[in-house]
Chains A and B, each alone.
Chain A
Amino acid sequence: MILRGVRSWPRLSGLGIGLGLWAWVAWLWATPMALPGPSAVAVTLVEEAPLLLSGAWRSGLRVLSGWLVAAMIGVPLGLGMASSPTLDRELARLLVLLRPLPPFVWLPLVLLWFGVGEVGAVVISALGAFPVVLSHAREGVSATPLSWVQAAENLGATRWGVFWRVRLPAALPLTRSGLRRAWSVAWMSLVAAELVGTDGGLGQILMDARNLARPELGLAAMVTLGVVAAASGRLLEGRAG
């Protein structure tokens, strides 16, 4: 994000303006409970690097696990749903009910059932990622151009052949983009879980910053979160897209 800005003048000046504005507001609003300036946050980033990095690592692992679980269940299910009209019809109605629900609504129940450890965290991030992965995989198959399917059938392909050779590859782009989106949703869900009750990770550092009245730590944690989430998202894009 910042590296790309170097290549374009408006971007760079925009970033500069952003930082400058931040520093100015921080200087104006100079009370202990106020906005720490960029320099204070930078110092905290360095001082608390071990804490922030270990938190980022812990959170990241949880997100990865949850996302993988969601992918392993969601992709086959989505692909299967789109290939079987009966399954699709029944499950789709169920999903319509569940779709507007943010993963956070499951938090109290998950905490109640699984406690405040890793399992709960992974479950929440999986719950967040799952609907996204599922709907994208399903759409991916539905979006296969009819002409491709017909061409394959004309050339003598069986149903299974059509699925494996035509629909599946056609579904890949949407499935990939679904997986990417699911990654950021999984991050959001996990951070929320760590804010509300799960132990450890960046979310807990954020809450601690509030409880200890250390806004500069909070901002440093947020910066870390932003960077890690964005960087990991980019990595995912690079690998899968």
Chain B
Amino acid sequence: MRLLAVLLGLWEVLGRVCLTGRWAILIPLPSRIGEELAAMLASGEVGVALAHSALRVLVGGGTGAALGLVVGLLVGRGGFGRVLGSPLALVRPIPPIAWIPLTLLWFGVGELQQWAILAGATFHVVTAGVRDALDRVPASLVESAKNLGSRGFGLELVRLRAAAPELGFTLREGLAMAWFVLVAAELVSATEGIGVLVLQGRDLLLPARTFVGMLTLSVAAGLSDALLRRVGFGVGVQR
């Protein structure tokens, strides 16, 4: 924390001394950012933006994660599942960001488009993660279960329970991806949300707002991940 305080102090002091004219507006001082943060919190702007973004992550990311879980489990079973997985491999190298213009064309500007982008991004992360998680289940475990008489659905349950911590971790990765992509999606389509706050820094020539947006995002993503971890997702997975 010392370093952070020192850096902020340096920023403030050097900024007051060196920044003039155009650059005084373009680079906000920490004090200015603090003011803006307080003002925006008071006026509720931060809260509204956060609510909009969080809802998007929940709906879009949640849908993508749920679908990803189902498909990932199907693919992970092997055999016919792998055939299903191959068309997905075609699409995966394309970064989710690249889908933004096309989805705008198809869905127009609106929540559906945002949800589509978030769902797509989360979906790919989760399917890959689920597949890896299932692959990581030790074969010896499955063999012993078979020896003890497990078949069919019971056997699947064994695999699932063994893979559960990794699955939880994958869902958290999906959440991180959702927050990651959210900003890009909001930057392009400029509806309400954290991305809009960030964008206003440039559009309204109030760069302090961008920093407020960044702080909000940092807190939101960090808190949601901590929440999931608290509830037990991915506990015990070393990465």
Contacts and interface: CB of A to CB of B under 8 A. Distances in A.
Interface of A: 1, 5, 10-15, 17-19, 21, 33-35, 90-91, 93-94, 97-98, 100-102, 104-105, 107-109, 111-113, 184, 187-188, 191-192, 195-196, 203, 206-207, 209-210, 213, 215, 218-219, 221-223, 225-227, 229-230
Given A112-B202, A112-B207, A229-B93, A102 B105 contact: no
Given A14-B82, A108-B210, A210-B101, A1 B93 contact: yes
- Which among B100, B181, B200 has the greatest number of chain A C-beta atoms within 10 A? B100
A143 to B, nearest CB: 12
Interface string B23-41: 0001100000000000000
Contacts, number: 155
Say whether chain B's binding surface is mostly helix, strand, loop, or mixed.
helix
A109 B84 contact: no
B23 to A, nearest CB: 9
A225 B87 contact: no
Nearest to A20: B87
Interface string B192-233: 000000111111010100100110011001100100000000
Contacts of A21: 87
A193 B15 CA distance: 27
B21 to A, nearest CB: 14
B102 A188 contact: no
A111 B184 CA distance: 14
B165 interface: no
B198 A108 contact: yes
A209 B99 CA distance: 12
A104 B188 CA distance: 11
Contacts of B93: 1, 226-227, 229-230
Contact of B188 (A18, A196, A229): A196
B26 A112 contact: yes
Nearest to B27: A113
13 contacts: A13-B86, A19-B87, A94-B7, A100-B225, A102-B180, A102-B217, A104-B187, A105-B198, A105-B213, A108-B202, A215-B106, A222-B102, A225-B94
Nearest to A233: B93
A1 to B, nearest CB: 7
B74 to A, nearest CB: 13
A130 to B, nearest CB: 15
A34 B106 CA distance: 7
Contact of A100 (B2, B184, B222): B222
Which 3 A/B pairs are nearest by Cβ-Cβ distance? A14-B86, A18-B87, A108-B202
Interface in B135-183: 176, 179-181, 183
B42 interface: no
Contacts of B237: none
B19 interface: no
Contacts of A97: 4, 218
Nearest to A29: B106
A210 B218 contact: no
B90 interface: yes
Given A94-B3, A104-B184, A207-B101, 8 more contacts: A14-B84, A14-B85, A15-B87, A184-B95, A206-B98, A209-B101, A225-B98, A226-B94
Contacts of A229: 93, 95
